[in-house]
Amino acid sequence: MQSMNISLPDPLKQFVDRQVSMGRYSSVSEYVRELIRADERRKAEEQLEAKLLEGLNSAESALTPADWSAIRREAVAQVEARKKTR
């Protein structure tokens, strides 16, 4: 595992320390990792929403069984990839 140093203004450092002292997180590193994971999830949801809106705004087309199979394979691959990062 790689290590990273960050600088925080005192109020943010105190906030992080309070989150850890309240017992929700066992360390500052765990807290920061959870924030990054939440940001990853948020960005993935934004990408999904953008793709859905793009699809809704595009011209209609007939999907073939091969199209549905490809969509399913991609969805399963994305779900599996997310499981590995948790």
- 62: in domain: yes
| Full-model pTM | 0.63
- 53: in domain: yes
Confidence (pLDDT) at 1: 86
- 24: in domain: yes
pLDDT tens per residue, the chain (86 residues)? 899 999 999 999 999 999 999 999 999 999 999 999 999 999 999 999 999 999 889 888 888 999 999 999 999 999 998 888 76
- 4: in domain: no
Domain residues for 58?
10-85
- 39: in domain: yes
- 2: in domain: no
Count of domains in the chain?
1
Confidence (pLDDT) at 53: 93
DSSP string, the chain: ---------HHHHHHHHHHHHTTS-SSHHHHHHHHHHHHHHHHHHHHHHHHHHHHHHSPP-PPPHHHHHHHHHHHHHHHHHHHHH-
- 5: in domain: no
Residue 25 and residue 34 in contact, taking contact as beta carbons nearer than 8 Å: yes
